[in-house]
């Protein structure tokens, strides 16, 4: 969650209307979970980010909403 607060602080320094949304909070929490679990190295986490695995979570959530 600390990472999410840092991201929000950084984006708010650029413009007042760039606040962290739910998708951004979920993404930062998953990154925190990956690093905090101790099961993934920094290199593996960087690879997960680069490949875009976490984007699948948002696509899945949006798809379910559109179907519903």
pLDDT at 5 over 80: no
User: According to the model, what pLDDT value does residue 38 have?
Assistant: 93
Burial of 27 (0-12, 13-18, 19+ CB in 10 A): buried
Threshold 0.85, pTM exceeds: no
Q: Which tops the pLDDT comparison, 3 or 38?
A: 38
Mean of the per-residue pLDDT values for the chain? 80
The pLDDT of residue 62:
75
How many Cβ atoms are within 10 Å of 16's Cβ, its own excluded? Answer: 8
């Amino acid at each position: 969650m600390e990472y999410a607060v840092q991201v929000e602080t950084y984006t708010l320094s650029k413009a007042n209307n760039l606040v962290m949304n739910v998708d951004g909070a979920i993404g930062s929490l998953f990154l925190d979970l990956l690093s905090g679990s101790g099961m993934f190295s920094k290199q593996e986490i960087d690879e997960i980010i680069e490949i875009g695995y976490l984007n699948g979570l948002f696509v899945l959530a949006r798809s379910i909403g559109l179907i519903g």
